[in-house]
Amino acid sequence: MSLIQPFRGLRPAAGQATAIAAPPYDVLSSDEARTRAAGKPWSFLHISKPEIDLPPDTDPYAPQVYAKAAENLQKMLDAGILVRDAAPCYYAYRLTMPGASGEKGGDHVQTGIVAAANVADYDSNRIRKHEFTRPDKEDDRVRQIEALNAQTGPVLLAYPTSATADALIDAITRGTPESDVTADDGIRHQIWVLADPAAIAAITEAFSAMKALYIADGHHRSAAASRVAAARRQQGRTNSADSFLAVIFPHHQMKILDYNRVVKDLRGLDEASLLQKLGTAFSVEPSAQRVHPSRPGEFGMYLAGKWHKLTIKPSLVPQDPVASLDVSLLSDHVLGPLLGIADLRRDKRIDFVGGIRGLAELEKRVDSGEMAVAFALHPTRMDQLMAVADSNEVMPPKSTWFEPKLADGLVSHVLD
């Protein structure tokens, strides 16, 4: 089997994409999803967050939740709201994220391909990982896939530099998109369908020549797909379960935002003591304005209503692909030794703020008294993520925040 292959996508019927498209299942709480889906009977949230159609106190992992997802999917099929392509296709997917007012470069645009990625290549690490997964989250996705007999949440992948793949994908987008939705967050989602056999074969060949693909977001979804495929192989059932739904963008188009940290207390230190101790590993400069780090090794710190710029001493930056990450440097020289936070996954004294919310959110969390100090980080780069994956290592928790997010419901993968 090739690294990727075309598939018969399950998509919104003509004119229904706006009614169906929904945020990814894992970015909304049940209450938020219930509010977003109110008055929208065809919102894909009824499939991806089906607990919204059950009593509010329902456990979102209860068996009836997955049964409700299957029931809601069948209703959409019966009503002709979702339809399946007659033959295997590839799909171009373009995301357009409006630039902030005055932002240099204007809108952010990335164009990739929706494909069925090979589970065997995931299992052999040709589709490379960079983080651990949690069994409970994997179990949830396994139950969802089995209940629907479909994969509805795409895995976000990146492919390394390939002018051939770029050109082939760009060629798909020269016509009119089949779906064109601007979500309420301003992100535009466009889908084009490629059914031409010769063009499909060219894309399959271009990706087959690649040494690897890289998971950007969706480790639990890909791990669950692997588990479903393995279970079905044991049962003598194969076919499309041996692949998983993926949207694959060129790595140079991917946008990673900063993933910042806020800490509840200074572990007994006062402001002066913390600043003094930071001087061991950093140059520390007070700033009259917000500090948004402009390069790796530079950090912003908001403490007691004031900003400081911290710059790591170059001699302390190792060559190791994980230890050299800014998230690792902050943990190794500040969060652990000074503030006593050794386990980012479990320590309740630390929280994480995605860069999409801006530095004002860090100030708000500290000024309210909820948190004592905030740290702004430079975003992890795609080449750093790929280097970690190539080394078969894993990144620290909360290392990457990808924007813009994919939408659920625009293309799904039915398991025949």
| CB count in 10 Å sphere of residue 56 | 9
Q: Where are the alpha helices (DSSP H) in 314-367?
A: 326-330, 359-367
**Where residue 67 falls among pLDDT bands split at 50, 70, 90?**
very high
pTM of the model: 0.91
Domains of the chain: 4-256+403-414 (no CATH), 259-378 (3.30.1760)
Establish whether the linkage from the previous residue to 6 is cis, with ω within 30° of 0.
Answer: no
State pLDDT tens for residues 394-410.
Answer: 999 899 999 999 999 99
Q: Which of 170, 322, 180, 327 is nearest to 253 (CA)?
A: 170
Distance CA 160, CA 35 (A): 39
Per-residue pLDDT reduced to its tens digit, 314-368: 999 999 999 999 999 999 999 999 999 999 988 999 999 988 889 999 999 999 9
Q: For residues 406 and 225, give the distance between their C-alpha atoms in angstroms, rounded to a whole number.
A: 18
Mean pLDDT of 40-61: 96
Instruction: Give the pLDDT score at 293.
Output: 97
pLDDT of residue 26: 87
CA 413 vs. chain centroid, Å, equals 18
Q: Return d(Cα 216, Cα 381) in angstroms, integer.
A: 11
64-87 mean pLDDT: 98
148 pLDDT higher than 50: yes
Q: What is the pLDDT of residues 161-206, one digit of tens each?
A: 999 999 999 999 999 999 999 998 899 999 999 999 999 999 999 9
CB 372 within 8 A of CB 326: no
pLDDT level of residue 238 (50, 70, 90 thresholds): low
* Residue closest to 133 by CA, chosen among 55, 220, 195, 73: 220
162's CB contacts (< 8 A; 6+ apart) are 206, 209, 210, 250
Give the integer Cα–Cα distance in Å for 186 and 72. 27
Buried b / exposed e across 308-345, counting CB within 10 Å, b at 16+?
Answer: bbbebeeeebeeebbebbbbbbbbbbbbeebbebeebe
302: left (phi over 0), alpha (psi -120 to 50) or beta: beta
Q: What distance, in Å, lies between the first and last C-alpha atoms of the chain?
A: 16
Computed from CA positions of residues 363, 377, 389, 349, in that sequence, does the dihedral angle turn out positive or negative? Answer: negative
pLDDT per position as a tens digit, 127-142: 999 998 989 999 999 9
Residues 6+ apart with CB under 8 A from 189: 21, 93, 94, 95, 179, 180, 181, 182, 183, 406, 407, 410
Q: Tokens standing for 232?
A: 């079905």
Q: pLDDT confidence of 232, banded at 50, 70, 90? A: very high
Model confidence pLDDT, tens digit, residues 89-147:
999 999 999 985 444 558 999 999 999 999 999 999 999 999 989 899 999 999 999 99
Structure tokens at 137: 């989250």
pLDDT at site 223? 96
CB within 8 A of 324, min separation 6: which ones? Answer: 317, 318, 384
* Longest alpha-carbon distance in the chain: 68
Name the residue with tokens 């894309």. 203
Interval 246-301: pLDDT, tens: 999 999 999 999 999 999 999 999 999 999 999 999 999 999 999 999 999 999 99
